[in-house]
Structure 1
Amino acid sequence: MRPEHCSTRNHIEVWHDRALPSGPERIGFWVVLRGSVLPILVWAGVGCFVYVLYNPLVAMVLGGLFALSFVVGFGLRRRARHSVRCSVYGAVGGVLDKSMAGF
């Protein structure tokens, strides 16, 4: 894959498409996070809820699951010969996107 096409709309999917640029162009990490505001807020609320209601250990396990999902997503993208930047952005967007599938 050519580096100039790696960090494009076609390779990074985030939960809200309207936050992305209208065509294939390089996007920044802030755009990925802005497109994922709802999942970030939902999971931050869930983390705070389990921290207060149950135990900090439960919140750490939840954070560990997200970290594991990120590492797996990053590894799969690197194996598919994406750039490091594209792999990081795609892993963050992918974890947040797939985590909201149940909602």
Structure 2
Amino acid sequence: MRREHCGTRNHIEVWHASVLPSGLELIRLRTVLRGSLLPILVWTGGACFAYFVYNSVVATVLGGIFALSMVVGYWLRRRARHSVRCSVYGALGGVLDKSMAGF
């Protein structure tokens, strides 16, 4: 994959599309995170709820599921010959996007 096309809108979709640039251009991690505020709050809220209601082990398991999903997404993107930057952004955006698919 060509470097100039790797960090573009085509490869990194975030949950809230209104923060993405209108065309094909590199986006920053801040843009990915800003577009994913609701999923980040849901993951954080779920972990806090599990910690206070159940146990810290449950919150740790939830964090492990999130981390495992990111690692698998990163690995799949690297196998498809994406750059490291694109793989990190895409894995984060993908996990946050897919976790909110039911809403």
TM over 0.5: yes
Q: Which runs of 4+ in 1 moved over 3 A?
A: none
CA distance in 1, matches of 2:5, 2:78: 15
- How far apart are the structure 2 equivalents of 1:29 and 1:20? 11
| Partner Cα distance (1:45, 1:65) in 2 | 15
Q: Which residue of 1 aligns with 2:82?
A: 82
Shift of 1:3: 0.2
Tell me if 1:102 matches 2:102: yes
Unaligned runs of 5+ in 1: none
How many residue pairs get matched?
A: 103
Matching of residue 47 in structure 1 with residue 66 in structure 2: no
- Percent of counterpart pairs with the same letter? 75
Write the distance in 1 (CA, Å) between the matches of 2:12 and 2:98.
Answer: 13
Counterpart position of 1:18: 18
Whole-Å separation in 1 of the counterparts to 2:97 and 2:50: 21
In structure 1, C-alpha distance between the alignment counterparts of 2:18 and 2:100, rounded to whole Å: 17
> RMSD in angstroms over aligned alpha carbons?
0.7
Following superposition, the deviation at residue 78 of structure 1 comes to 0.4
Unpaired stretches in structure 2, ≥5 consecutive residues: none
1:56 aligns with 2:56: yes
**Offset at residue 42 of structure 1 (A):** 1.2
Partner of 2:8: 8
Match of 1:36 in 2: 36
Return the alpha-carbon distance in structure 2 between the equivalents of residues 57 and 45 of structure 1: 15
Q: Output the CA distance in 2 between the equivalents of 1:27 and 1:7.
A: 6
TM-score normalized with structure 2 length: 0.97
